[in-house]
């Protein structure tokens, strides 16, 4: 496409029905709304099931399965018995102690690894869930389970469910955005709306100089562009008058409204240069940086500040991630990349008075074995791993659940992925058992027929 094209890229995005070009892979082909949904209600703020403790959610997904016994689940017995054997899945395996020192942080004295010393500076804001459980130890399916509640059957993502259940806070921005520089396990399925109306699909933002591809037009005549838009508007209005109750057109029209709003406000929202030098330094964002994890954390705060309901940062892709089979020292550069920005995000939200209404979830797809098969690395482990929650409605400076002395299995308060999702929805004002969508003759929900809210961690 060049400057002589009849429609440049910006006009193409504005005019093409359903052509939300910045969504990864385009919008899902199912442009179908429930019959009861109307033009005014598809994307508008919805009524809550109960008072919400958090209005918005930031998810930070650390891809690959970081080791719980190297990060947030302190196991002195594991270190004491380093080199001995223990029964693991019916076989005698060699115990490997943590490769990193643990220290108490904050007034609460939360024990955290030296890998996350910066995050330790906000320990009193954190709730450590040490008894996470999932049903699968394969990356693709476990990643899907953490995002959709299902490891086998394609389902809408948690961000899509929240967009559907809560609506938007800013009609000029999507309710759900995803920063993802490298394609993760399971790809765009992690933010797909699937059978939910496509307006609820996550909008993929690509870290770099062009976070929303095709947003900026080539140089051209403004007068000609305005003329084209008027002609297209007139044609669309004629078409719309004959099909005012067409559910597919309603969905497409609302997608276009968000696209046009995004074009107006996105350049400003994603411009970190407007931040003060002290803020940039706190996150670790250098001049001209538009790609780093630090920039993504800062951009996430800016999006939430302007009303985006759910922002996810998927850190690393399906390669060069936290999947340390060969050597646990591989965790060092990964932690160095994320530790300071994560602490800055929590501190920044608190300083701005936003943390009380913004829930932060830091998670991964599974943990790693407390035993080793090669003396330096760890394998996948589904029976126990750690995730963190902070902000909206969460008690800070506490741990939830307990694993055995080696961190192999849960001995108190297990937290299945469904419980984790149920708790997030509850904090956002949604009853996970009542948030349903009828498709193919049955009602679906994020937690299926499972899930219990972890009420002990809620203020």
pLDDT at 8 over 80: no
| Per-residue confidence band for 74, with pLDDT thresholds at 50, 70 and 90 | very high
pLDDT score of 234: 79
pLDDT score of 320: 87
pLDDT at 32 over 90: no
pLDDT at 196 over 50: yes
Q: What is the mean pLDDT of residues 351-355?
A: 98
What domains, with CATH codes, occur in the chain?
32-217+245-457 (3.40.720.10)
Count Cα neighbours of 357 within 13 Å in the Cβ-side half-sphere.
10
Calpha distance 173→304 (Å, rounded) = 10
Contact assessment for residue 198 and residue 31, using Cβ atoms and an 8 Å cutoff:
yes
Q: What is the mean pLDDT of residues 96-100?
A: 98
Q: Which percentage of the chain shows pLDDT scores above 90?
A: 70
Calpha distance 96→99 (Å, rounded) = 8
Contact assessment for residue 425 and residue 52, using Cβ atoms and an 8 Å cutoff:
no
CA 276-310-293 angle, 5° bins:
45
pLDDT single digits (tens) 243-288: 766 666 666 666 667 767 777 788 889 998 899 999 999 999 998 8
pLDDT score of 249: 67
Distance, C-alpha 10 to centroid of its chain: 28
For the chain, the average pLDDT equals 87
Q: What is the mean pLDDT of residues 365-375?
A: 95
Contacts of 300 (CB under 8 A, 6+ apart): 58, 179, 311, 313, 345
pLDDT at 41 over 60: no
Helix H or strand E encompassing 231 = helix 222-241
Q: Which of 121-135, 166-180, 240-254 has the highest mean pLDDT?
A: 121-135
Least confident of 99-113, 139-153, 218-232: 218-232
């Amino acid at each position: 496409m060049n400057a002589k094209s009849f429609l440049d890229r910006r006009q193409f995005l504005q005019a093409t029905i359903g052509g939300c070009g910045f969504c990864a892979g385009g919008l899902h082909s199912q442009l179908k709304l429930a019959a009861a949904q109307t033009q005014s209600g598809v994307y508008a703020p919805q009524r809550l099931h109960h008072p919400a403790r958090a209005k918005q959610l930031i998810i930070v997904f650390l891809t690959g399965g970081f080791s719980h016994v190297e990060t947030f689940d302190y196991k002195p017995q594991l270190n004491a018995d380093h080199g001995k054997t223990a029964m693991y899945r019916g076989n005698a395996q060699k115990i490997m102690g943590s490769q990193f020192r643990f220290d108490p942080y904050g007034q609460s004295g939360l024990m955290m690894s030296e890998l996350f010393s910066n995050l330790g500076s906000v320990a009193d804001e954190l709730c450590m869930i040490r008894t996470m459980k999932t049903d699968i130890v394969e990356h693709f399916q476990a990643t899907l389970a953490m995002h959709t509640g299902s490891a086998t059957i394609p389902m809408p993502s948690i961000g899509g469910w929240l967009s559907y259940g809560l609506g938007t806070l800013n009609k000029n921005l999507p309710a759900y955005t995803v920063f993802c520089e490298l394609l993760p396990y399971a790809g765009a399925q992690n933010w797909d709306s699937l059978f939910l109306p496509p307006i609820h699909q996550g909008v993929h933002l690509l870290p770099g100089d062009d976070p929303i591809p095709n947003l900026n037009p080539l140089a051209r005549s403004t007068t000609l562009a305005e003329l084209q838009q008027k002609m297209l508007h007139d044609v669309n209005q004629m078409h719309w008058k004959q099909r005012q109750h067409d559910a597919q057109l309603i969905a497409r029209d609302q997608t276009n409204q968000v696209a046009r709003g995004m074009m107006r406000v996105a350049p400003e929202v994603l411009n970190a240069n407007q931040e003060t030098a002290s803020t940039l330094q706190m996150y670790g964002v250098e001049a001209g940086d538009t790609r780093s994890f630090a920039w993504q954390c800062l951009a996430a705060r800016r999006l939430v500040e302007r009303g985006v309901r759910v922002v996810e940062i998927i850190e690393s892709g399906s390669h060069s991630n936290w999947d340390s089979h060969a050597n646990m020292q591989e965790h060092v550069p990964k932690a160095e990349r994320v530790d300071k920005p994560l602490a800055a995000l929590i501190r920044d939200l608190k300083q701005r008075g936003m943390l009380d209404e913004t829930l932060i979830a830091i998670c991964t797809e599974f943990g790693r074995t407390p035993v080793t098969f090669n003396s330096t690395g760890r394998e996948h482990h589904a029976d126990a791993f750690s995730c963190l929650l902070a902000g909206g409605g969460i008690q800070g400076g506490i741990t939830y659940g307990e694993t055995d002395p080696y961190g192999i299995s849960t001995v108190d308060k297990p937290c299945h992925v469904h419980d984790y999702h149920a708790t997030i929805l509850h904090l956002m004002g949604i009853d996970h058992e009542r948030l349903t969508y009828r498709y193919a003759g049955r009602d679906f929900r994020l937690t299926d027929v499972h899930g219990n809210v972890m009420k002990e961690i809620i203020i």
